[in-house]
Every structure is written in structure tokens, then in C-alpha cells.
Structure 1
Amino acid sequence: MPQTEYEEQADGTRKYMNRVSPYRDPETLETVSIGEGIITVGERELILRKLEARTFPLAGKRHGHKQGKSLLTGLARCGLCGARMSKAGTSYQCSSHRMGRGCSGVSARMESIDDYVTRAFLSRLPSLEPQDSLLAVIADRWVRREDPEVFAKQDAIEAEIVDEEARLADLEEARYVRGEFTGADAIDRYDRLAGRLRTRIEGLRADLLRMPAPSVDISPLLDAGRLREAWEADDAAGRRERLGLAIDRVEVQRGRVGVRFSGDERCRIVWATRDEAGAESTGDEVTE
């Protein structure tokens, strides 16, 4: 049962915040739930992924079914303002410019950019060395798409551990710093609450250790012949998914009038990487 956080105002009213958290019993600190969920955590993850894959360039109109053969839907970015570029006829165009949001706009022929990024993708992957960090990111993204249930549960458990540790730290500060637990009864209550939190944290960590470690065979991506064969057999949606395994975004610069398209000059492919904490990021910018 969720509860929305709020702040008491001077006039006695409440200002509700954006954060919603599960309701907890004030005595046991256990979450309180009513009934059963309609969908599982994994099903929710799948739904969110499907929603993220859709783009609606113009408000009020349904364009998701018109993506057609455009490969960079969701990946192409305006090199001037960083906004997504959406399909407009035979070109990708800056969505901010199209909606009149101040950007002077970047436009590029869809076929030219798709061909350039495809060649870069099909040549980069087979050339990767076994220790290349991009391989680890690709494998992680692939297995998360194949088995989202496991990773959704893992993320939920890790988030709850962080939440419980924060509650324990606040409880310890209340006793040892703010001196809010005085007297035998109060100390006994503190011991019970702290004990439950520590037990809960240990249990959650044990749950993480018991979770299966999914694996995936990415060898088809590293063989030039097999990769090209799979690419040619796939449809546009499948190709977009393959690109998303290795590429975070493609930044497109404005071209010069009368000058033939040059992918090396106009496109910067940002290959997927990880930050120090192990989460996926977009820090490795490589120009192809």
C-alpha cells in the first residue's frame, strides 16, 4: 500500500511530493500490502521497455507504427541541442526544432546515416578483443532483454537494501546522536527495531546471493559472417534492438550546403560503456 510523502505547510495544509513509498507499520517497520499485484515485476519491466522503445515525434498524433525501416529511432540525437531526432519523410530531423523549441535544427537523410551506422556496427563488433569492455556491456544488455524477470527482481532487492540501510542509519543516529531513546523501555524498543532491520538486510543480501546468474552466448555477434547473416535476416525492429546493445546514441551534426554526405564528419557514435559503479553509461565517445 503506497503512501505519498508530503510537507506540512504553515497554513496547516499538506504539500505532496513526487516520491511514493510503501507504507510501513510504525512498530515493526514491515511493509503493508493489500491484495496481490496484477502483474509481476518482470512483466512490468517488459512493459516499460516496450514503452521506452516507442517515439511520438508530434504531440497528439500516433507515429509509432510509422517507424518503418528507420534504424536510428531512439538513438539519433541533434548535434546542436542533444534532442532526439525523429523520422520526417526520408530524413531524421531535430524534434526540438520541429516543435519550435529554439533549436535551429539538424536534418540528415535517413538512408545515408542508417547505412553509415550499419557499416560501423557490423565492422566494430567482430573486431573487438575478448577483454574489450564493450563486450561486457553488450552481454549484460542482451541477457537483461532475454531474462528481464531476474534483473528486475535483483534491482528491486538492491533498492530495498539501500532503503533499509538508510532506515537503520537514521535509527542509530536517533539513539546515539539525537538521544531520542532514553529509558529501559525506549532502549528495548530500539533494540527490537534495529534487530529487525539488520535481519531484514541480511535476508535481502542472502536473497541476492541465491539468485541465478544468467549467461548469454554472444559469439554470433563476434563472427563477421554470422553477424551479417543475422542482420540481413532481421527486420527493422530487430536491427534497432541489435544496435541498442552496443550503441547509446548517434550525434548528428549539421551538413554543409552542396557538400556530399560524409558520415565521418557528421556522425559521432557513442558506444555503450560502464561507469565506475558498474552501471551502464554513455561516457565512451568514439567517432567512427
Structure 2
Amino acid sequence: MRAAIYVRLSRDTEESTSPERQRAACEALCEARGWTVATVEEDIDVSGFSKGLERPGLQRILTRLAEFDVIVFFKIDRLARSTVDFAEIMKLSEAQGVALASATEPLDLTSSMGRAMAKVIAVFAELESDTIGMRVSSAHEHLRREGRYTGGRVPYGYRVVPNPDGAGKVLEVNPEEARTIHLIVERVLAKDSLMTIATDLSKSNVPSPGHTSRQTTGKRSDSKQWYTGSLRSLLTNPQLLGQVIEDGKPILRTDGLPLVNRTPILDMDTWQALQDELSRRANPRDRRREGTSLLRGIVHCSLCGFRMYTYVAKGRLRYRCIGRLKKRQGGEHIDCYGVSIAGEAMEEHVEATFLKAFGQLPVVRMIEQAGEDFRPQIRQAKEALSDLEKDRYDRGLFKGEDGANRFAAQYVKLEERIASLEEKQRHAKPAGFVAVPTGQTYAQHWKAADTAGKRDILLDAGAYVEVSPAKKSGRTLDTSRLAVFLGEDGQIRRADADGKDVEKVIREIAAREAGSRDR
């Protein structure tokens, strides 16, 4: 009989079932039975539980079943870690007339009783695998709760160091990477595009999150190239708050809030502002992509109030109103015939008007001061409550009586925390605004910005442009067709044209002015 020997080991440090011992036992069985060893296939460092039947060595045997008469293995748990996988292997081998033989278990798999006993053993092998997995997972979670590093990818902004309080290793803030993160966050909050930031980081040779120079373990790329995807992934990682992540989710405390057991790189206020800005950019209605026109979202038609969009005619950029087309698609009719205007000349006129009015003024950032502001904590607690509900009702966790009790206890604690924070917020000092100088004039800021950055400067300055129909044709721009509004007047007009809550915009302007006067 032609025998195929199969050897598997999850970890090559398991001496009790080493590949050599497994192979020797299988070869001894073949010699005793008079079988000829046709091939020996191995899967080393391959989990029989997580990989299932998708193991290279096993697949090489299963695809060549016609060449063998028997498959020999050390123990059933080396062949399969789940009852389903073992049953599938038995089905495939029986269909080809191939027997299964264990080198250490007295089973006759050619009889129905022997096959039944083999399946019982496979059930216990699966149970043992599950138990080992739960034990390892529990041990890792315990170590993470203690603040220990359990291996894997090191979060950007941290580094692995010996545990100062005992055995093992921990993560501490990497000063250089933390400075890089703060620089990135400042630029994002200053409206710089992720593409511009990534390009600048790549040019300055700052090691990227995947670079080998910042990894303690694991194979990484030697490229220092930054990408917008890696930037967004970095900036949305709650590990920047010192939270501990397991299976892609923060580990929770008994009160349902994320566990924080290492020094945060960002404070909660900065984190919330950063997430709000990234969410704004992800919204298709508010996204301002690099490479689009300077005045998109700023120029409106004076006849119908609709925004004007760009197109190219005879190689030249133009803006035109498509309000009539939009209304016609909705079954309505308006008198606007589609006003259009030369794009480059209009952009130059608006730029000159803006710099004349704002160019020499210092750029200040109106930063909201929370005072006694419990809103970030309320938001975090509500997000934790939502995640807790998803864990139970969507993901099927908290099963059984003990699970239900733990769910109820965490739910009550979170509700109490939310109620307490909301009560504090009702009596908190109102938030205000403070003007923070940037050290630059608008002209300097404008000169250094790309198209997307310049558009953001105009939008933040309340720029709003109305275009009237042409009175006569001509090669030069008739500037009398343009009405350029800046500041509060422009903000209010743009909000009205975009269908936003004008009263809310007015209240926000008043609040900023009041905050600026108070300081």
C-alpha cells in the first residue's frame, strides 16, 4: 500500500509533538504494516483550527488522493482540529478508496464503529483547541489590562520598552513619533489636505508607520512613503488616546468605558476636533478635493441662486449655472438660462479683492474654549453605550445568565454616567472662543497654500460671489457682473444660498464675537 504521511505543528517549539517525533512514529507504523511511504507532507507553524482545510501540505495530499492507499498521521488532532474538517477529510478519502491511519491511536477507520470513535475523538480535539484559544485570549486580555505589551504591530507613536514594574514589556510614548503626530493633527485642523501632508512627510524622509526603522518585530517595508490611507488610519486609531485595542475594538472597563492604561498622545478635546474634521471631509457634500476649482462652492448665480460649476470650452476654464437643468430634472421651471463666465479672470479678480481687504491682516484661529465642557465625555459614554448594545444584539455577545447580568451592570453604569455628565453640563460654564495668532498674514498664508488650501481660506473668510448675466460680449472680464462679499455678510449669504439655517449661522457669528470681546 502506498502511504502519504502528514505532519502538522502549530508552533515549532512544541517538543512533545515535534515534526521529527511525528514523522518517526508514522514511518514506524508504515514499516510495521509493510506500507511504502510515497510522500511526506508537513505544515509547520500552521494552525489546524484557524486554517481549516486550507493548509498547503494537507492540500497537496488531498489533491493527489488517487496516488495513495492510506493517509498516516500522528494523532487525529494533527490531521484536524474540528469535527467538521475531520468529517470532510473522511468523506474525500472514502470517495477515493483511501484509508486513514493514526500512528498513536488504536482505531480501525475501515469499520463504522471505528469511524464513529474517530469522530468522538475529533470532538474532544476541537474542544481542546477551543479551550486553548480561550485560555490564550484570556491571558492576553489580562496582560493588556495590566498595561503589558503582548506582541504584534506596535502602534505608531509608541515604542516597546522593558516593564519598569516587573516582568514583560510595555509601550511608552515615542517622543519623535509623537511630535510627528501632533504636527499632522495641527495641519489637519488648519485645513491642510491629507495628500499635501503625506507628500511633505515623504519628502522629509520621516519614517512611515510601516517602516522597518520603527518596528521591534515583524517584517516591514523599507519605504518611507506616506499615503493618505495610512494617515487616515493613523488619525482614527483610538490608541492615540491611550486606549488598549483587542480584535479591532477597545477593551472596556467594568463601567463600559474604554480602558486607558498608557500615556495618551492626544487629549480628548483634540481627538474629538480631529474626528469631526475628518468626518466633514468624508461627507461628499462638504468634501473639498485637491485639484478642483478655486471658487467651487463660493460662486453663485444671481438669477436663481444656484452654485456655478466649472467646465472647459476651447481649452479655457469657465463657470456656469446649471440651476435650470436641475429644476427641469425635478419637473420645475425657472427663468435662469444658465449664466456663464470666464473662470481664470474671475478667480484673479476675486483673489485680488480678497488680498486687498484681508492680505495685511494677521491670520488668527478662533479656537473654541470648552470651559466646563462635558460634551466630549458625554459623547464618549454614548458611543460606549451604543457599542455595548451592538455587542449584545448585533454580535451575539453576553450570552447566558452571567453574560446578561454583566451586560445589565455595564448598561446601568453607563446610563448613570451619562445622566451625571448631562447634569454637570447643564450647570457648566458656557463655552467661548479665543483668537489664537498664527504669526502669518493672510497674504503669506495664501502664498503658501495649494488650490484646496486657498479655497478653504476663502470659505473661512466668508467669501461669497454672485455672477450677473453679461450685458455685452467682450474679450475682457466685465467686473461689474461680479458682487464679491467677504466676512459675516458673505457667510450669511452663502448659508442662505446653500439652504442652511441662517439664524444658526448668525448665532454662531455672535458667539464668536462675544468670545473675542471677552478675551
TM-score, structure 1 normalization:
0.48
Structure of greater relative contact order (alpha carbons < 8 Å, 6+ residues apart): 1
| Bigger Cα Rg | 2
TM-score, structure 2 normalization:
0.29
